Amino acid sequence: DQQVKQNSPSLSVQEGRISILNCDYTNSMFDYFLWYKKYPAEGPTFLISISSIKDKNEDGRFTVFLNKSAKHLSLHIVPSQPGDSAVYFCAASGRRGADGLTFGKGTHLIIQP
């Protein structure tokens, strides 16, 4: 039973436009959510996080939105740049992050020139 779902295996976006990556979760005990970015042959790198007490967190070009009632979060990247091409993982944790992270399967974002 997958507790964190990323239903789009891949997404293609034109450079300069907005990229929107989506994530759904089923475990109502999750209270801390993160996005990681991964290049081939490298480990994931932290991008941005959000606590369940917030509905939005912004860091430069990256914004994460959380809709707790829908158990849905999204990552917005504006504007999209070629270096953003990577696999993006949504992750969630309970007990304010003290539990290990549960990851989704990832979305491969391709930024086209």
Name the residues that contact another protein, by CB under 8 A: 4, 6, 32, 34, 36, 41-46, 49, 89, 91, 93, 95-106
Least distance between another protein and beta carbon 44 (Å): 5
Residue 34 vs 77, nearer CB to another protein:
34
Which residue has 């999204």 as its token pair?
74
Residue 14 vs 45, nearer CB to another protein:
45
Residue 34 vs 73, nearer CB to another protein:
34
Least distance between another protein and beta carbon 95 (Å): 7
Least distance between another protein and beta carbon 87 (Å): 9
Residue 60 vs 113, nearer CB to another protein:
60
Q: How far apart are CA 112 and CA 94, in angstroms?
A: 36
Could you please report the per-residue DSSP string of 44-102? -EEEEEEETT-SEEEETTEEEEEETTTTEEEEEESS--GGG-EEEEEEEEEGGGTSPPE
Q: How far apart are CA 49 and CA 6, in angstroms?
A: 16
